[in-house]
Structure 1
Amino acid sequence: MDSDTRRDISIVKYITKQVICCTAINKINFIPYDENEDYIFDLNMQKQVLDSTINSNLIKRYPMKTSYQKAFLKLFMAKIEASGNDIHDDLYTAYCRLISLQDEESVHYRHFLVENATLSCITLKESTNLISKGTTGLCSWQAAVVLSDWCAENIEKFHGKNILELGCGVGLTGMSIISICSPKQYIFSDCHPTVLDMLCENVKLNFLLNKQHKLSNMCDTSLRLKLQLKYEQTDIQIIDLKWQDINKYVAEGFSQPDIIIAADILYESDSFNSLTIGLKNLLTSINYAVFAATVRNEDTISQFLEYLGNHNLAFEECILPKWTVLIQSINSPVRILKIFRKT
């Protein structure tokens, strides 16, 4: 394979990785920063990009939002036209097909390519609206992407460990950790019934790959356990857990987590008291928590840190990852906090 062919393959993969996870249209880069900006998308390259995105079997089976697909093709064709090149007929055909469809989906799919993992792609069913059915948990937020990347850079911290995620939403961070880090046990937790239903769908979609990965019998008398399965070496559970009930969760004898994680749950200060008390019940002298928080309001984050101090909990800042595993537009700064009991 010559260098030009390798470069073409790399560029197609670079574009595909952005598009299929629905990176904001105005944030899409067609050429990696280390490539020549005058790169020519000839007819063959146009067809490769189309076939790896809009026309791929993955997208046909689990489609992205129709309006997003149209917006991407419109942008791609405009870029090609601006460079003075002819546009492949298949791009026009795909665009005409899409504009004949109505944009009325309540759910869609996003796909995250993951390297060096047991899954090469994580597929998530999400709401097309940021707020749906009274919750923000039906779509993935940017701190989940950042935390996934951070965990991928710190595999040794999670390999073979018991992990509990609070407010997990549709499951991006947890599925990334399971696939990349191979923990011993991973427990997803949330409390919104619609979120839990969609989370169960996503976990089964990604991890029930064949007959070797079967659902376990669920006999939890408290009805807290919603789903349990085994994937590779990881015991996966989904539980219904309100933060104010964490003390009951601990008393019920669920396995003690080595690490508690959470992404983008620090947006409503009214919940900080129950969250901090629950976190204190989970933390011991030998475990810790890792929270990723999008900083939309500095005062809100400061309030949470005050709650930590008031409950004898300490924190330290973690170095942000290099964005190597997943691609997603980052519009606000993200902080990653390691939280632990004061000694």
Structure 2
Amino acid sequence: MAGPGLASRFQHRFLAARQLRSFPWPELEQNLRTSPDSSLLVDILHKHESTAAEPLDELYDTLADILNEEETTHCYKNYLLPTGDCVTLSESVAIISGGTTGLITWDAALHLTEWAIETSAVFSNRTVLELGSGIGFTGIAICKTCNPKTYIFSDYHPCVLKQLTENIRLNGFALEPETTQQPPTESLGQEAKATNYQKPKLIVTELDWGSVTEKQLSDLQPDVIIAADVVYDPEIILALIGMLQKLSSSRADRKPPEVYIAFTIRNPDTYHLFHAELDKVGIRWHVIPAHSNSIFLYDMQPNVTILQLFI
């Protein structure tokens, strides 16, 4: 018999479009050698066909195109959630594409999402603002598992906003009637509102940290603010902290939002700079304890930290 979870490990890697060398081939070979009549392959195929996500003709067509092309710029990836649902994303195959790194899903986003699913009460029936949403993985996963009241996706790069909007649609969210008359590429500079067929309400908005006003931030009225992998450059750190200060100033008499920032520590100096700049402006912080659940696939376990900030 196959070892427990072998079929599921194949399923997760296949749906996430992982490289073939990451599949557990030695374990499969050993299983087939010891049990030639094993039903493992049938089980693997069955798991693929029984995925909770609705089959999408455009997804299969695109996958077929990818198989027939020597080079492609995008692929579809599926990330299975504990609920049995999945997040389907069109992602760039290159780390940098269109002059931005925002067209792929980074490990810090996976890590933040695992923590969010484990602590879903933080998001339940609340308004969540995500900074630097990228192509939408964390937000879509939270909307499918944590029951927020409103989820505000935000980013700045036009290519990222376009891909983000497409991925929201791909995951079963429909535009509200008042915005369906504009094609998505024309609505990116404004707030493009989308909603699940039940809830939550989803909003996509362009947000430039350097020029956003206190009035714009006040209008968003978030209860929770999250971000993943937005702390990797000194200039970006200063812009982020400047915007958090504006958020603090714009809340009037409202309770300050809870702020959670997840990032991979690639350069310790950058990490310490972020701490120093937070201390300089009086924003307190503490490290969130590591979560226990591991849901998504990593090439190697990343050095990811989640900070809670008090603005």
Mapped to 1, the partners of 2:294 and 2:302 lie a distance apart of 18
Aligned to 1:83: none
What does residue range 56-135 of structure 1 map to in structure 2 within 5 Å?
A: 60-63=60-63, 66=66, 98=67, 101-116=68-83, 120-135=85-100
Aligned to 1:73: none
Deviation of 1:325 (Å): 3.1
- Which of 5, 13, 16 is the equivalent residue of 1:21? 16
1:296-328 deviations in whole A, cap 9, x for unaligned?
Answer: 111111111111111110111012223433233
Mapped to 2, the partners of 1:335 and 1:271 lie a distance apart of 18
Q: How many residues are paired up?
A: 292
Aligned to 1:321: 291
Q: Does structure 2 conserve the Cα–Cα contact (< 8 Å) formed by 1:15 and 1:30?
A: no
- Which of 236, 243, 267 is the equivalent residue of 2:202? 236
Q: Does structure 1 conserve the Cα–Cα contact (< 8 Å) formed by 2:158 and 2:188?
A: no
Which amino acid in the other structure matches residue 322 of structure 1? S
Aligned to 2:178: 217
Is it true that 1:265 corresponds to 2:257 in the alignment? Answer: no
Deviation of 1:227 (Å): 1.8
Mapped to 1, the partners of 2:223 and 2:64 lie a distance apart of 36
- Give the match's secondary structure for 2:308: strand
Mapped to 2, the partners of 1:31 and 1:131 lie a distance apart of 33
Mapped to 2, the partners of 1:279 and 1:253 lie a distance apart of 12
Q: TM-score, normalised by structure 2?
A: 0.82
What does residue range 284-295 of structure 1 map to in structure 2 within 5 Å?
A: 286-295=256-265
Query: Which of 1 and 2 has greater Rg?
Result: 1
Deviation of 1:20 (Å): 1.5
Q: Does structure 2 conserve the Cα–Cα contact (< 8 Å) formed by 1:126 and 1:139?
A: yes
- Which of 191, 197, 201 is the equivalent residue of 2:166? 201
Aligned to 1:338: 308
- Give the match's secondary structure for 1:270: helix
Report the CA distance shift for 1:307/1:24 in structure 2 as closer, same or farther (over 3 A): farther
Query: Identity over aligned residues, as a percent?
Result: 27
Mapped to 2, the partners of 1:177 and 1:329 lie a distance apart of 23
Deviation of 1:61 (Å): 4.3
Deviation of 1:193 (Å): 0.2
Mapped to 2, the partners of 1:286 and 1:46 lie a distance apart of 53
- Segments of 5+ residues of structure 2 without an aligned counterpart are none
Deviation of 1:28 (Å): 3.8
Which amino acid in the other structure matches residue 39 of structure 1? N
Aligned to 1:185: 150
Mapped to 2, the partners of 1:44 and 1:62 lie a distance apart of 30
Which amino acid in the other structure matches residue 261 of structure 1? I
RMSD of aligned Cα (Å): 3.2
Segment of structure 1 superposing worse, 273-282 or 175-184: 273-282
Mapped to 1, the partners of 2:274 and 2:295 lie a distance apart of 29
- Segments of 5+ residues of structure 1 without an aligned counterpart are 67-97
Report the CA distance shift for 1:223/1:131 in structure 2 as closer, same or farther (over 3 A): closer
What does residue range 27-38 of structure 1 map to in structure 2 within 5 Å?
A: 27-29=22-24, 38=30
- Which of 199, 211, 214 is the equivalent residue of 1:245? 211
Mapped to 1, the partners of 2:62 and 2:219 lie a distance apart of 35
Which amino acid in the other structure matches residue 235 of structure 2? D
Mapped to 2, the partners of 1:321 and 1:24 lie a distance apart of 27
- Give the match's secondary structure for 1:282: helix
Report the CA distance shift for 1:64/1:224 in structure 2 as closer, same or farther (over 3 A): same
Q: Does structure 1 conserve the Cα–Cα contact (< 8 Å) formed by 2:162 and 2:188?
A: no
1:48-82 deviations in whole A, cap 9, x for unaligned?
Answer: 4356559x95663452995xxxxxxxxxxxxxxxx
Which amino acid in the other structure matches residue 221 of structure 2? Q
- Which of 21, 46, 57 is the equivalent residue of 2:41? 46
Q: Does structure 1 conserve the Cα–Cα contact (< 8 Å) formed by 2:17 and 2:76?
A: no
Segment of structure 1 superposing worse, 319-328 or 272-281: 319-328
Q: TM-score, normalised by structure 1?
A: 0.75
1:125-174 deviations in whole A, cap 9, x for unaligned?
Answer: 01111100110000100000000000000011100011000011000000
- Give the match's secondary structure for 2:211: helix
What does residue range 297-316 of structure 1 map to in structure 2 within 5 Å?
A: 297-316=267-286
Mapped to 1, the partners of 2:188 and 2:65 lie a distance apart of 34
- Give the match's secondary structure for 1:207: coil
1:61-117 deviations in whole A, cap 9, x for unaligned?
Answer: 452995xxxxxxxxxxxxxxxxxxxxxxxxxxxxxxx5xx33211111110011227
- Give the match's secondary structure for 2:269: helix
- Give the match's secondary structure for 1:217: helix
Q: Does structure 2 conserve the Cα–Cα contact (< 8 Å) formed by 1:142 and 1:329?
A: no
